[in-house]
Amino acid sequence: MAGERLAPWRKTGRRADPRHFEGLETGAFLEFSGYDDRHRQQGRILGYLSGVGLETNITGGRVFEG
């Protein structure tokens, strides 16, 4: 593992600057809010972008697998 760089760290949310979403790529980590079935925030979730998803049904934005 020596010499390997960590994947870029991203933090999302209402206060995230739009530039935080530029350059997202496979291997990036995402931190985001997790909500229960009653839409109450239950904490923070750490996600990892493992691949690029199909973008057939989306207008704007990007799709990733995690």
pLDDT digits (tens, 9 = 90+) for 7-26: 566 666 666 666 766 767 88
Provide the domain count of the chain.
Answer: 1
Q: Are strands 41-48 and 51-52 parallel, antiparallel or unpaired?
A: unpaired
Would you say residue 13 lies in a domain?
yes
Would you say residue 49 lies in a domain?
yes
Q: What pLDDT shows up at residue 32?
A: 82
pTM here is: 0.56
Would you say residue 52 lies in a domain?
yes
Q: What pLDDT shows up at residue 1?
A: 45
Domain that holds residue 57: 9-65
Whether 53 contacts 63, CB under 8 Å: yes
34: amino acid identity, one letter: G
Between 38 and 11, whose confidence is greater?
Answer: 38
Closest CA to 64 of 7, 6, 2: 7
Would you say residue 22 lies in a domain?
yes
Closest CA to 62 of 38, 36, 26: 26
pLDDT classification of 66: cutoffs 50, 70, 90: confident
